[in-house]
Structures are given as C-alpha cells and as structure tokens.
C-alpha cells in the first residue's frame, strides 16, 4: 500500500468516525448526520451503527454489546439529520437491554434492540474457519477489481469506502454473465485505517461493515448480479451476534451464504473470522430482491 493510499484510507476512516460520533441532545436522545456522497437513501449499515452508538452510550462501559436485532422500516434521507431515541428496557446484574429508534420527520426509519453483558467466563467452542481460503494479500483489491468494470463504478461510488473490501470470488456488481454460481460469498474486510481502542466503537464499525456485502450471497447462489441486467435490493432486517474480542481495523473474513430465497426475499447468513481463525461474530439478514425493470 502506498503512502497516498494510507492517507486516503485514514481520511475515509476519520469521516466514518465523524458519522458515528453522535451529538447528545437529551438524557436518552442523540442526533446523527449522513455523509454527503450523493446517495438517494441512507446506507443501512450506517444507521445501524449509529443506533448502536446511541444505545451503547447509555450503558455502563464495563458491559459490552453481545447482540443486536434491527428492522429497516423506511428509506432514510441522507440530507436530513437522524434523531435517535433510546429506551432503557432493563439493567440487570449481568445484562443491560436497550431499544434504539432512528427517526426522520418524526417517523421511524430503523429500530433496534441491543443487549450488553458484563464479562464472564464459561464454555468456549466454535465451528472451524473455512479452509483453503487465500488471505487478503492473495486476492485483488477493490481498485483492481473496479478497473475491470468502469461502467459499474456508480454502484460503489454512492457508498463511503472507509472499509478495505477484498472479494475472494466475484463481487455482486460485475457484468451479467461474469459471475459463476457459488454457494458462498467470501470477503476479507478491515477498517482502512486506525481506530481508537474503544470496544463499542469497534462493534459499531463492524456493524457498519456487516451490511455491506451480506446480501451478495443470495445472488451468488444463482450467479446473479446487482444493477443493470440483474437485481436491486434493500435490507429488511439485520441481526448480529458478537462472540469474542476483536479489532475492526484488523483483517477479518466474512464467510456468507444463503439458505433460502423465495417470494421476492432472500435470507443471508454470515460468520466473521480473524486472520488466525477465531470466530468474532455472526450475522443474519433478510433482504428484498427484485429484477431490474420488473
């Protein structure tokens, strides 16, 4: 990576940190903004990450988030501030539960329940990480892939890129016919710069990243693509479980697949592994998928 690429990557990460740094407007109320990048709606991972920031700021820092469940109910307007209202559902001896609602024009666009737990010891096991997957240095960078498909750049140009994303297989935005069917969608990711040490911030950054490529796996089963000649989609809901400590600015493998698609909806699930094979998180999402022009 060149010195210029490092500077550009950190600048994008600093922009993400600004997006996640909500202004507190009341005891349990916060306000967030969207980056001005020309997109027609707020990126789902952004509002989910911001909702987790809002919830987490009302919880004792000794308790870390272990799960979240959210629903996208309306498209968000990136030109308007997003108001977050947090409800303290419960503070128990070991767990704290919060409900975080994102609003624009006094209507919810997203709501989330998140649970936080104090550190405990217990049983420890995990399924093994995928075998024979090339490391992040062994697959093309996003810039290298985009160079082959300049006409598809618009799909990615509307999303901020503070994340270094490296697909092991073909991305979902290649030309129709260029993507073989594959039961898995595997992507190496990391925040493309340095993050502060705050565990909540790393969880929010991972939440931001988790929505970026998950639905690709639904299309991957059929060799389908996003955009012209393919499909358009939108996230309907999102669930994420955090299993072990991690840093979102270090490489993790996002191993995704789709167990079912029907009725214009597709279900996607994914596991996240560190480079040394520790499973740090699991995600499940259902999305709306429609043929372009259909």
* Domain boundaries of the chain, sorted by first residue: 3-118+136-291
Q: If we measure between CA atoms, which residue out of 115, 118, 144, 105 comes closest to residue 61?
A: 118
Catalytic residue (choose from 211, 216, 249, 255): 211
**Is 100 among the residues known to form the active site?**
no
**Is 10 among the residues known to form the active site?**
no
The pLDDT tens digits for 184-235 are 999 999 999 999 999 999 999 999 999 999 999 999 999 999 988 999 999 9
* Strands across the sheet containing 82-91: 23-26, 29-32, 82-91, 95-104, 107-118, 63-72, 231-242, 279-291, 265-274, 252-262, 184-191, 163-167
Q: What is the pLDDT of residue 8?
A: 57
> For the residues 79-104, what does the mean pLDDT come to?
98
**Is 235 among the residues known to form the active site?**
yes
Catalytic residue (choose from 50, 185, 217, 235): 235
Q: Which stretch of 14-23, 133-142, 143-152 has the lowest confidence by average pLDDT?
A: 143-152
Q: In this model, does residue 243 exceed pLDDT 90?
A: yes
Class of domain 3-118+136-291: mainly beta
Q: What does pTM read for this prediction? A: 0.93
């Amino acid at each position: 990576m060149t010195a210029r690429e490092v500077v550009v990557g950190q600048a994008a990460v600093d922009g993400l940190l600004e997006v996640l740094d909500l202004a507190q407007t009341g005891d349990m109320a916060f306000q967030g903004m969207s980056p001005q990048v020309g997109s027609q709606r707020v990126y789902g991972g952004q509002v989910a990450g911001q909702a987790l920031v809002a919830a987490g700021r009302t919880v004792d820092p000794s308790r870390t988030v272990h799960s979240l469940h959210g629903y996208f109910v309306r498209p968000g307007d990136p030109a308007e501030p997003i108001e977050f209202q947090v409800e303290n559902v419960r503070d128990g001896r070991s767990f704290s539960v919060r409900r975080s609602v994102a609003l624009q024009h006094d209507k919810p666009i997203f709501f989330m329940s998140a649970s936080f737990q104090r550190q405990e010891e217990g049983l420890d096991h995990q399924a093994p990480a995928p075998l024979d997957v090339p490391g992040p240095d062994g697959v093309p960078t996003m810039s290298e892939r985009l160079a082959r498909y300049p006409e598809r750049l618009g799909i990615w140009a509307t999303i901020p890129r503070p994340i270094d994303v490296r697909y092991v297989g073909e991305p979902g935005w290649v030309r129709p016919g260029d993507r073989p069917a594959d039961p898995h969608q595997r992507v190496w990711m990391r925040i493309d710069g340095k993050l502060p040490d705050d565990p909540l911030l790393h969880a929010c950054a991972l939440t931001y990243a988790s929505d970026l490529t998950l639905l690709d796996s639904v299309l991957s089963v059929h060799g389908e693509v996003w955009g012209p000649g393919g499909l358009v989609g939108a996230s309907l809901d999102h669930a994420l479980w955090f299993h072990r400590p991690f840093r979102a600015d270090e490489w993790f493998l996002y191993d995704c697949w789709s167990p079912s698609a029907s009725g214009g909806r597709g279900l996607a699930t994914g596991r996240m592994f560190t480079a040394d094979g520790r499973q740090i998180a699991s995600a499940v999402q259902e999305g709306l998928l429609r043929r372009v022009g259909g």
